[in-house]
Amino acid sequence: MDHGRRCCLSSDPWDWLPCRGSRLRISYRRSWPARRTRPGTGCRRRRCRRHCHRHRRRHCGRDEISSKRMRRVFDESEIGQEMAAKLAEPPYTHPLQGLSLRKEQNGARTVNMWLTVLRREAVLASRNKAFFAAGLFQVLLTGFLLSTAFVRLKHNSTNDANLFMSVMFFSFMTLFMTGFNFGPIYCNRLPVYYKQRDHRFYSPAAYAVASVVMRLPEVVVQSVSYSVMVYFSVGFTMEGGRFLLFLLNMLLAGLNSVTTFTLLSSVMRNESATQGIGAVFLMVSTLVCGFP
């Protein structure tokens, strides 16, 4: 066994350490066979470490090379000096690089930027007609079930008033659920938005406002269709002002849903996390709305 060239820490082949007068190398051979640990003598790896430490002090004269010395030797070598010279050079610049990538201000004026983002969101909304149809079908189905469950309620007792309150509660929850479907879509658009924002294509405010504004037609259609179906079939008071008040509440519930899930999608940046936090927010809204 060559004690002057390598020392063994354990049976692990990666635990070979260099000694004085030898190069740093890895060997897959063991210097001595592994010994079994007797009861009460401790771990074989620890015994091997102690034995190797005594072996180095006896045969090698010193411990392994320190990291500072290795760094100093590398800096003095030819490769280290060449690498230091490359790092000292200034970064590459081009006289026209400011025209291709803007880092200080947006590339377009404010009005053009907002109009461009709105036009792009309109194109994306027009290409996703299936999503619009699915949301409208969901709201109409819920309105149909609610209209057939509470048909022409009376206005005579407290129980009838509680039934009207139940209809209003289900109506608010139905319009609030419209934002659940938009969360995953908004999360999938975020990588493109961050890339374009870093290149100063448009401001974050323009993108956020455009995303909410393009959802308003969908919210208006769902709110109007749901209000017309539910308000008159359930038997609310036949007054124009009260109907407009009911419709306004539905519009505000849908707008609250859109803005809430847009905010959650921007903060969480994950589809599952957005829907999970949205469910918690829905539960909190249900508890503090006053209907229960």
> What is the DSSP code string of 160-171?
HHHHHHHHHHHH
Lowest mean pLDDT among 42-46, 87-91, 190-194, 249-253: 42-46
More confident residue, 235 or 62: 235
Determine the Cα–Cα distance for residues 180 and 285; give it in Å rounded to an integer. Answer: 15
pLDDT band at 98 (very low <50, low <70, confident <90, very high): low
For the stretch 153-166, pLDDT in tens is 888 888 888 888 88
Structure tokens belonging to residue 12: 């692990």
pLDDT tens by residue, 234-262: 888 888 899 999 999 999 999 988 898 98
Looking at the predicted structure, is the pLDDT value of residue 54 above 60?
A: no
Residues with Cβ within 8 Å of residue 136, at least 6 apart in sequence? 218, 221, 222, 225
**Mean pLDDT lowest among 31-40, 47-56, 219-228:** 31-40
pLDDT digits over 129-155, tens only? 888 888 889 899 999 998 888 888 888
Of 15 and 263, more confident: 263
Rounded to whole angstroms, how far apart are CA atoms 290 and 281? Answer: 15
Domain parsing of the chain, residue ranges: 6-87, 110-288
Enumerate residues 6+ apart whose C-beta is below 8 A from 208: 262, 266
pLDDT at site 111: 84
> Within 10 A of 210 (CB to CB), how many other CB atoms are there?
21
